[in-house]
Amino acid sequence: MSERMPQGGLPLVLLGGDGQEATRWLKSLLEGGGYAVLQERLAQHVLERARSTEPDLIIVDAELPDMPGADLCRTLRTDPRVSSSTPILLAVREPASRAQRLAALRAGAWDCITPPHDADEILLKLGSYVRAKLDADRARAEGLLDSATGLYNRQGLARRARELGSQAFRDHGPLACVVLVVDLEPQDLAPGQQGSGIVGRCVQALKASARLSDVIGRLSPTEFAVLAPGTDAAGARRLAERLASSVSTPSTTGEPATAGSTGTPSPRVRCGYEAV
């Protein structure tokens, strides 16, 4: 395992790869872009580092010596000791097909780094992902997140609405809000189950369907709101339809629903929107 420790004040990137040409260029790009880099060759060591160092960003080579990179992404994303707000990216050595990209996203990756490589674009994307992660960490520390789902609570959503509203006013740009109410039975909201079951699937559906720039909050056990900067009334309507469809779809885990399935039925979703 590499013994290099992060430099003070710099965002920390955990890079999983063999250190050869496939990842050497990426390490050089990251260090030149102002990141501290910890590199591990084996998937098991990446997982151990992710648990112990709390990196701001994890990049995994698609071809690790002991495990496919997509499998490691899935393991990292489901590990409770790795923050759900930590961006995970899969570095693919050849141009990726649509099927490969979708497989990476289903495995928990936020994005894929594929050739041809544009250094400026990569650094801009990584900067956005790291800022989103740090914002989530700061909100969690300040008590602005719902403990059961990791979404913003009422207080956190109100703060983000003020910030986005001020930004929209300065930029003379639109801002929309979509509110969804999920009709659930009392047993679906039993104590200790608010982050799992139907509610958990609804939350995952919202996260998967919203854009990176959108802000998602939980107003009550069955009410959710999405703030969408740069979105006018027409865009808000399309967003509302997309979110409602995603939440009400029986399967949101990537497994197709089948006729006569005995799984949990899809919840009824009501939604509304407003744009300014």
Looking up tokens 């990196």, which residue turns up?
A: 55
Provide the residue ranges of all domains of the chain, joining segments of one domain with +.
Answer: 12-139, 144-275
pLDDT in tens, 116-145: 889 999 999 999 999 999 988 888 778 888
Name the fold adopted by 144-275: Alpha-Beta Plaits (3.30.70)
Looking up tokens 């139907």, which residue turns up?
A: 198
Name the fold adopted by 12-139: Rossmann fold (3.40.50)
Supply the pTM of this predicted model: 0.56
Identify which of 58, 64, 107 has the alpha carbon closest to the alpha carbon of residue 82: 58
pLDDT in tens, 13-34: 999 997 677 788 999 999 999 9
- Assess whether pLDDT exceeds 60 at residue 5: no
